[in-house]
């Protein structure tokens, strides 16, 4: 097979024969010349063909090529061999390929099912076509760079990567948000979090662990930031003194991830989305929840939730305050009340009504929850009972703490939310490869 050259590498090559392959963006079929804009996964280039429309018996191949180009439809996949020529007069990158041969790998239907102005739901119906847009390609290149930077930071800091099961015998937190499935003669649940399993690595002596993997929430929400299946970014570390240790790890990780995206894709993101990737300074601002309420009241907003947790509008206004006051896109909201948090969050030593926990807001939206965990089994049992849970249903989890476990803590973070907010997109649907929600299981 002839070696294929990616479009992004054409500019650095000397003039000469090249083979490129991709899909057709546009065809300009003029009387004496044809222009094809061909795009691959790295960019687009202009292909030129001197049109030959009449046969004299010696140029049948040229006529056939002209006819083939005339029949090309948007989205058709083709392979082109021709002469690369650098010409600053060419608006598209200052290069073009003069066609010598054309192979049509797959001809697309004449009428594309979606357009640039189609609704998000329509575009999701035809996601494989929607993903051809250059900005969508960039989303997932940036995501790849971001994830790679997170893994690199973890590995460089002696973390162990784990892969926890997504089938569970019992509920991890709230059965109300779990998908129940048939499992041979019994029932199983799809994991909404690797929480219990990443904690299990602490008595195992792993010390520091991380995972990037699917998670599932049976949450019938239709907001721009919710999904029933999403990618969860998780980490757990041993020997913490408080949630401050978890926050310090969390912010260093995000600095590394955003720096990598800015370095590799910053210019492209600016061109595609008019967004400047801002690498945050550490430490991030920290605001206790009670103080957050006072700040919001001073701005004329009362959080309506009875339990005192911030609602989306409260998160947005608090983030605006932080950006104005500290010039920061991130803020840790700390010291959540016991009633808001799950039973396994460690409580303040001097105030049992508060937990050693936090939510992390990014550009006005919560992206993560973290905490120091309660590692004393008797306290865990008491706190579970206080929450109305039956400790007998938690026996496998409670066993983790009966045979020695260090103080530990960690966080879970939604990858799609981070990408949505990083690129200032209106919905996680735009940055999810194949979105799953209450009314979407296809494609």
CB atoms within 10 A of CB 68: 17
The annotation status of 315 as a binding-site residue, yes or no, is no
Residue recorded with tokens 């299946």:
229
Whats the size of the chain, residue-wise? Answer: 443
Tokens of 280: 């945050």
CB 35 within 8 A of CB 28: yes
Q: What is the pLDDT of residues 256-313, one digit of tens each?
A: 999 999 999 999 999 999 999 999 999 999 999 999 999 999 999 999 999 999 999 9
Whole-model pTM? 0.95
Q: What is the pLDDT of residue 220?
A: 93
Task: Specify the pairing of strand 186-190 against strand 180-183.
Answer: antiparallel
- By percentage, how much of the chain surpasses pLDDT 90? 94
**Residue 141 marked in a binding site:** no
CATH 2.40.50.140 in the chain, residues?
7-106
- Mention every residue, 6+ apart, whose C-beta is less than 8 A from residue 15: 83, 84, 85, 86
- Give the span between the Cα atoms of 176 and 99, in whole angstroms: 61
Q: Where in the chain is the domain with CATH 3.30.930.10?
A: 127-431
Please state which CATH number belongs to domain 127-431: 3.30.930.10
217 labelled ligand-binding: yes
Give yes or no for a contact between 194 and 213, defined as CB atoms under 8 angstroms apart.
yes
173 annotated ligand binder: yes
Whole-angstrom Cα Rg for the chain: 27
8 Å CB contact between 343 and 387: yes
Query: What confidence tier does 175 reach under pLDDT thresholds 50, 70, 90?
Result: low
Beta-carbon count within 10 A of 280 CB: 17
Is residue 135 pLDDT above 60, yes or no? Answer: yes
Q: Which of 170, 174, 346 is nearest to 243 (CA)?
A: 346
Is 14 labelled a binding residue? no
Q: Do the annotations mark residue 402 as ligand-binding? A: no
* Annotated binding residue 416: yes
Question: CA 321 to CA 294: how far, in whole Å?
Answer: 12
Q: Is 4 annotated as a binding residue?
A: no
The answer to the question of whether 123 is labelled as a binding residue is no
Q: In the CATH hierarchy, which top-level class contains the domain 7-106?
A: mainly beta
For the CA atoms of 254, 260, 265, 266, the dihedral, rounded to the nearest 10 degrees, stands at 70
Q: In whole angstroms, give the CA distance from residue 62 to residue 50.
A: 9
């Amino acid at each position: 097979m002839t070696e294929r050259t990616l479009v992004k590498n054409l500019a650095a090559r000397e003039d000469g024969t090249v083979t490129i392959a991709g899909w057709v963006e546009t065809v300009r079929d003029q009387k004496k010349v044809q222009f094809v804009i061909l795009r691959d996964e790295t960019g687009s280039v202009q292909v030129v063909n001197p049109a030959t429309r009449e046969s004299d018996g010696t140029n049948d191949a040229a006529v056939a090529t002209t006819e083939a180009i005339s029949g090309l439809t948007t989205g058709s996949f083709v392979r082109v061999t021709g002469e690369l020529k650098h010409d600053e007069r060419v608006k598209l990158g200052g290069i073009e390929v003069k066609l010598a041969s054309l192979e049509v790998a797959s001809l697309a239907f004449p009428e594309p099912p979606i357009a640039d102005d189609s609704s998000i739901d329509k575009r999701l119906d035809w996601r494989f076509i929607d993903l051809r847009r250059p900005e969508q390609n960039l989303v997932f290149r940036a995501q790849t760079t971001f994830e790679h930077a997170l893994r690199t930071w973890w590995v460089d800091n002696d973390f162990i990567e784990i892969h926890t099961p997504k089938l569970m015998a019992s509920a991890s937190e709230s059965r109300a948000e779990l998908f129940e499935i048939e499992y041979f003669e019994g029932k199983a649940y799809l994991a909404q979090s690797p929480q219990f399993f990443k904690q299990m690595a602490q008595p195992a002596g792993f010390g520091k662990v991380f995972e990037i993997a699917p998670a599932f929430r049976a949450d019938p929400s239709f907001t721009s930031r919710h999904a029933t299946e999403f990618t969860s970014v998780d980490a757990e570390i041993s020997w913490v003194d408080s949630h401050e240790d978890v926050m310090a790890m969390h912010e260093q990780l995000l600095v590394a991830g955003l720096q990598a995206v800015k370095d590799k894709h910053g210019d492209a993101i600016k061109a595609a989305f008019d967004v400047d990737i801002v690498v945050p300074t550490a430490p991030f601002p920290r605001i206790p929840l009670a103080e957050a309420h006072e700040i919001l009241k001073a701005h004329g907003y009362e959080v309506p939730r009875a339990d005192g947790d911030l609602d989306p509008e409260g998160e947005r206004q608090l983030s605006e305050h932080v950006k104005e006051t500290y010039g920061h896109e991130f803020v840790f909201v700390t010291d959540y009340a016991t009633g808001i948090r799950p039973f396994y969050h460690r409580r303040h030593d001097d105030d049992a009504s508060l937990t050693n926990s936090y939510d992390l807001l990014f550009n006005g939206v919560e992206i993560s929850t973290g905490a120091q965990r309660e590692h004393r089994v008797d306290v865990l049992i008491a706190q579970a009972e206080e929450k109305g849970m039956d400790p007998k249903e938690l026996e496998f989890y409670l066993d983790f703490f009966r045979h020695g476990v260090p103080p530990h803590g960690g966080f879970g973070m939604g990858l799609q939310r981070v990408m949505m907010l990083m690129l200032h997109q209106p919905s996680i649907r735009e940055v999810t490869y194949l979105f799953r929600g209450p009314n979407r299981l296809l494609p």
